Structure 1
Amino acid sequence: MLQALPADLGFLAEVLRRYPVRVLFRGEVLPEGPLRGERLWEESEIALYWEGPPPSQEVREALRLLLKVFREVLELRERELALLKSQEETSRLLGLLLHEIKNPLMSVLGALELTLEVEGLPEEAKELLSIAEKSARRIQDLLNKAREYLRLGQGVRLKSERVDLKALLLQVAEEMRPLARRKGIALRLILPKREAWVYGDREWLYQAVLNVVNNAIKYTPEGGRVAVRLLVGPEQYGIAVSDTGPGIPKEEQERVFEPFYRASTRGEVEGTGLGLALVKRVLEAHGGEVRLRSRLGQGSTFLLLLPRPRPGQRAPVGRLLLLMVALIALARLPIFPAPLGSKAFGEVPAGEVVRLPGLELAFSPEAKGEARRWRSLWGGGNRVQVSLEGGGVEAVRDKPLPLVLSTPEGQVRPTGTHLRLSREGGARLSLYRGKVALGQETLPAGEGAVLGKGVRRKLLAAPVVRPVPGPEGEVVFRLLGPEGTRAFRVEVRSGEAVVLSAKVEGNLFRYLPQADRLSQVRAMALDEVGLEGYPSDPVPFRERRSFYEGRKRLPQDPAGAEAFLRRAVSAFPDDAEALGELAFALYLQGRHGEAKPLYEKALALLDSPDIRVRYARLLYHMKRYGEAEASYRLVLAGDPGNLDARWGLAEVVLALGRAKEAELLARQVLAMEPSYPLARFTLAKALLEQGRREEAKVLLREELRLRPHPEVAELLNRVLGTP
């Protein structure tokens, strides 16, 4: 066993600091003091005493596992320390050699540079000296990269600072452009508009990106192209460096990241074989990775992936990159019980999307059952078990993370899969990718099963989902399923939450917004036994709760509608509909001056007929008849059947004194829609302007019969000559 007992016991005490325990190991007690309380566990030379109230079963299990693992770790650390000692001696010797070689090499380079500047040297001598200088500089480059690679593997402390990736890539491109110009290579940098930053060591990240871009330019033939793109994903940033070089054979693509390995297609181009190895170490030290996609004769793309900081995440305090076998092994041992999502340990996190390394679990809002997760105290070693009693869960598993899903009807052990498991009227499993063990059989991708019934069948294809705006701000989704569809499962997600999971019998689903946020909807076609087919692609949409509430209050409560619509505009400042509705609420309150700029902003974002017709009506009431007429005619040019625009234009031209034209427009509206509100009133006003009182009386009486309105009654009284 390990001899350095105090250090190891201190490590264990730090791990157990959250519990009221004392550990007895080889006669040593930690923390120091008398042993009291219940002896929870004893094996060989280790005993654990609990000094507080009786612990829960979960805590007992966690501590038992911890002590068991600790004994194994002690043996592992003994072997690891011996290995580290050997590695440290080798690294120290290598570092000393690199330092000792560097000094005489600088002298040689200096002497060569001075000699080459001497006038009158024979050309043959100059050529030989140039070859010598070139070789010396290559050795210098090799030494520098070897020292960097060695530093990164020896536990160098990485700085933790906010790194602006856009600024970093601009600096790399600026440094590499002269080399690209000399080779006649087009270097293109493509950056997103939004900001992109990570926490890390800027110096090392800069060196890693520089190495990849330098390689791309160096190995691309003259006249080729190199593109550097910054990609923004939901969980990661990607820096993609693409070239039109010779490409790398498939069988060599894994080895190009090994130290001193150079691909067979590199030809006569000089290199050390350390650049990409350094890139790999830097990315992994920052929690990222580097990927390669290449085809012979068609170039290569290197993708550098870095994790995006989560909202509210603080900058980490700088970590020591320790390449120690024991800590890596310990970090993967699942020894500590932890909750899954925001719920307490043992509870299914209904309505949550839980993301772990290599695993995503999305639980429906009505999910019930038990969920258990075990992990190490360093965040690795996840193991998840879910016992589902109701609702559903979707699992996307990309790494070998232990996962067990079970229902009263049976257990599911997926291997690299994407699946859905639900318990609506019995357990149903839909497998989209990978394999699943069902008892002694294996369910292949593209099939589903009713657990406990022996029913297995092919899954239905993904339906088509088309959103249609509802009349009050809700969203209506039209669902088009494949042949054999009996119903649909519709799921709405927003951020880390499954907002809704519902079964829909028809092909229309009306969704009432619950908040102001960006959401996504997906649908699955259900067959006759209730198996959920392939999910459709997510359809993003704006969930506008404030807009929905404000729209419902118009026009009967414009002041109340205004309050909601202002919240909608605050949540979505570029939402033309929300701006237009807010302007309409202000118009109904007579606040024309405030409404006008809002209408104009809305039209700049979306020149829709509805917004423009209302804007023209506002201009009419502001007596800006010329502008109102132009707006109405613009709508009619695109949509001659727009009755609101035709009636509004009749009102405008009547105000401008063109009664005959107003009569014609009003008659056109009534011909297309005899019950159009106030069309008879407008026609009656146009007839009165032409002295046709009897015809106007008939129209006004008819309008009052169909739709009583104070303005109509007032005009009729004036025509009849009654008070």
Structure 2
Amino acid sequence: MKKNTELSLKSIYILYAGVFFFVVVGYTGALWYFTAFDSVVIWISLGLAATLLILGGALLWTMRVKMRGMIGKVDDIVERAINKQERITGYEETSISALEDKVHRYVDMSMTHEKNIEAEKSKIKALISDISHQTKTPLSNIILYSQLLGEVAGLDKESSQYVDRIKLQSEKLDWLIESLVKMSRLETGIISIQTASLPVVGAITQAISQIYSAAERKGIEVRISCDANVKARHDAKWTSEALFNMLENAVKYSESGGRINITAHSSEMFTRIDITDTGMGIEEKELNLIFRRFFRSKRVAEYEGVGIGLFLAREIVTAQGGYIKVTSKVGEGSVFSVFLPVL
């Protein structure tokens, strides 16, 4: 920064010096012309021009030296303020001292603000962890007991239905709490996504394995076309989570006997993963809304869900330096394209 500032100032000095030189030379030449090149006038004007050029050069040089010293001092002030070192000017009543005082106060405020943010993150992290723990254990017990109840011999049909409903609703609540915890951790920056240049086929197959049973029950064909050498800089675990959320929607909103195709290929800057389905499609006016937290279209009101899957998917992909695009036609299906950086 200091070097760039000095180069900029040097260009300004050269510009002003050039303008001053041409003004003096032009004025001298005009004077000679209008005095018919009188020898006395020529010598006087030459002396005056030389004096002006020397004085102007000295002034510019002095300004340059002072400005360089000022830039160096300001640079030292900022550096010392950041590193919490002793002040240069002490507490003198000068403009540079006032600047130093402001810089120190600004750095102190910034550091205090940063510490407060970190403290808040720690509190939120502890709160989320506590909520997750306090709800996870009771829910796990409810699910376990409902499974045990379902295995009890002699239950009548109505009782069995009640047990199945308890188990199903408990699993839904468990999934919802887990999703909300993930969402909160992503938004507060608590989750650290570790990216590396890896083949994307691992994340894709992991995501498919989580929805394959549901797709099979509906007779939905799932195909994958991805070369093992197709790589992207990503966190395989979290990329799999994002892809799963999109694939889950593809299965949920596709009719029985539908198809889901997953393809991946790399370009110079990004690796593109396309998830194409033959589902109900998305209205054009809703394409910019589907990634909002808790957004659900009126057309899918009868389907289960709370509207955080796509929000989580976008947050995960964005945190890795990528983005998601969607194209869709109502009644024909949708294409979710995930772009992940190659480098």
TM-score range, shorter chain: 0.5 to 0.7
Task: Note if 1:159 corresponds to 2:194.
Answer: yes
Q: CA deviation at 1:201?
A: 1.8
Aligned residue in 1 for 2:56 = none
CA distance in 1, matches of 2:314, 2:262: 18
In structure 1, the residue corresponding to 2:326 is in which secondary structure? strand
Name the CA distance, whole Å, in 2 between partners of 1:180 and 1:131: 22
1:181 to 216, 221, 246: 216
Distance 2:84 2:114 in 1: 26
Which of 44, 47, 50 lines up with 2:100 in the alignment? 47
Give the CA deviation at 1:142.
0.9
Q: Structure 1 unaligned runs (5+)?
A: 1-18, 49-66, 310-723
**What is the distance in 2 between the residues matched to 1:204 and 1:156?**
10
Q: Is structure 2 residue 341 aligned with structure 1 residue 304?
A: no
Q: Deviations over 1:375-405 (max 9, x none)?
A: xxxxxxxxxxxxxxxxxxxxxxxxxxxxxxx
Aligned pair partner of 2:239 in 201, 205, 215: 205
RMSD: 3.4
The residue number in structure 2 matching 1:22 is: 76
In structure 2, relative to structure 1, the CA distance for the partners of 1:34 and 1:150 (3 Å cut) is closer
Counterpart CA distance in 2 for 1:176 and 1:28 is 55
State the distance in 2 between where 1:74 and 1:300 align.
51
Give the distance between the partners of 1:229 and 1:164, measured in 2 at CA: 13
Aligned residue type for 1:269: Y
> C-alpha distance in 2, partners of 1:190/1:34?
63
**C-alpha contact 1:220 1:246 (8 A) present in aligned 2:** yes
Tell me which amino acid in the other structure corresponds to 1:164: P
Q: TM-score, normalized by length of structure 2?
A: 0.66
From 136, 152, 156, the equivalent of 1:102 is 136
- Find the aligned partners of 1:308 and 1:248 in 2 and give their Cα distance: 29
Q: CA shift at 1:72, angstroms?
A: 7.1
TM-score under structure 1 length normalisation = 0.33
- Distance in 2, Cα, partners of 1:288 & 1:29: 33
Distance 1:122 1:33, change over 3 A: closer
Query: Contact 1:161 / 1:200 at 8 angstroms: preserved in 2?
Result: yes
1:74 and 1:227 map into 2 onto residues whose CA distance is 54
| Cα drift, residue 143 of structure 1 | 1.6
Structure having the higher helix fraction is 2
Shift in CA distance, 71/170, structure 1 to aligned 2, threshold 3 Å: same
Contact 1:287–1:307 under 8 Å retained in 2: yes
Cα offset for 1:130?
Answer: 0.8
CA distance in structure 2 between the aligned counterparts of 1:246 and 1:35, rounded to whole angstroms: 69
Deviations 1:392-426 (A, max 9, x none): xxxxxxxxxxxxxxxxxxxxxxxxxxxxxxxxxxx
Letter in 2 for 1:165: V
Task: Work out whether 1:236 is the aligned partner of 2:270.
Answer: yes
Q: Which amino acid aligns with 1:220?
A: S
Kindly state the Cα deviation for residue 293 of structure 1 after the two structures are TM-superposed.
1.9
Correspondence list, 1:363-442, <5 A: none
| Cα deviation digits, residues 251-294 of structure 1 (max 9, x gap) | 33333222332232324322242221211111111111112222
Partner amino acid for 2:180?
A: A
Match of 1:256 in 2: 290
Counterpart residue number, 2:316: 282
1:219 to 253, 274, 288: 253
Contact 2:270 2:339 in 1 (8 A): yes
2:308 counterpart of 1:269: no
Opposite residue 276 of structure 1, the aligned amino acid is: L
User: 1:146 aligned to 155, 177, 180, which one?
Assistant: 180
Q: C-alpha distance in 1, partners of 2:130/2:222? A: 39
- Alignment map for 1:518-557 (pairs within 5 Å): none
Native 8 Å contact 2:199 2:231 kept in 1:
yes
Task: Quote the offset at 1:190 in angstroms.
Answer: 1.9
1:170 match:
205
**1:593-632 aligned within 5 A:** none
Residue 215 of structure 2 aligns to which amino acid in structure 1? Answer: A
- Whether the aligned pair in 2 keeps the contact of 1:23 and 1:31 (CA below 8 Å) is no
Q: Counting strand residues as a fraction of each chain, which structure ranks higher?
A: 1
Q: Aligned to 1:117, which of 131, 148, 151?
A: 151
Structure with the bigger RCO (C-alpha within 8 Å, sep 6+) is: 2
1:341-360 to structure 2, matched below 5 A, reads none
Q: Residue 310 of structure 2: SS of its match in structure 1?
A: helix
**Native 8 Å contact 1:22 1:30 kept in 2:** no
Please give the residue correspondences for 1:311-710 in structure 2 after superposition, counting only pairs within 5 Å.
none
Shift of 1:34: 7.4
* Contact 2:270–2:340 (CA under 8 A) maintained in structure 1: yes
